[in-house]
Amino acid sequence: MVKQLQKRTLETRARLVAVATDLVAEQGYAALRTEEVVKRAGVAKGTFFAHFKDKDALMDILIGTAIDRQLDQMAQKAAPETVADLVALHAPLLTVMTQERYVFDVILRLSGAAAIAEIGVIATTFERYHRLATRWFETGHFRRDIDAELQAEGLQAFLTQAMALHFCALHRSQPMAQRMQLYLQAWLQPNV
């Protein structure tokens, strides 16, 4: 039912990803062209699309991997006990996700799995992030009137909002971290 993959297949695929990684390092994500990738990898155009459903599928791997590395770092750290800690903890993740407008757009597009069958890397990292955040909130350092999962979903909502406004000309003046602080203070430590 499952794999019957030849060694060649894995090699080609790995080469494509490696070449793409190099190209991104050189020119950024938005400038990546599939034709450039296949040329450097020494394969035909069709081969690319035999390995990846579309260009987004490659981006999913590249960007998802980068996000996952940040989550590795974050998972190492102790659970944050204050909003300031929580915001500080997110700094590197925010940097990765907002390094280019194009990257943020891809993340938004792929962060939810379109179908159960095709959960990509980015969607998987979002699940992972959700679990990680839920664990932080289960320590009980923040609100207690709602469960940890809901707190985590709100965190994600505000994270997205802060990043979106970062790219908005009308709001770019305020730094992302400061906005996060404001949001999360109100979300996690309401004072009614």
Nearest Cα residue to 12 out of 63, 52, 54: 52
Cα distance between residue 192 and residue 189, in whole Å:
9
Least spacing, CB of residue 117 vs DNA, in Å: 17
Nearer to a copy of itself, 42 or 190 (CB): 190
| Placement of tokens 């799995």 in the chain | 113
Contact flag: residue 64 with a copy of itself (CB under 8 A)? no
> Please, which of residues 109-168 interact with a copy of itself by CB under 8 A?
109, 111-116, 119, 123, 127, 143-146, 150, 153-154, 156-158, 160-161, 164-165, 167-168
Give the residue carrying structure tokens 């999913």. 60
CA dist 174 → 32, 101, 133, 180 (Å): 30, 17, 25, 10
Q: Count residues contacting a copy of itself (CB under 8 A)?
A: 39
With 0-12 / 13-18 / 19 or more C-beta atoms within 10 angstroms meaning exposed / middle / buried, residue 116 is exposed
How many residues make contact with DNA (CB under 7 A)?
A: 24
Q: How far apart are CA 148 and CA 142, in angstroms?
A: 9
- Catalog residues that contact DNA under the rule CB under 7 A: 4-9, 11-12, 32-35, 42-47, 49-51, 54-56
Footprint on this chain of a copy of itself (rule: CB under 8 A): 101, 105, 108-109, 111-116, 119, 123, 127, 143-146, 150, 153-154, 156-158, 160-161, 164-165, 167-171, 182-183, 186-187, 190-192
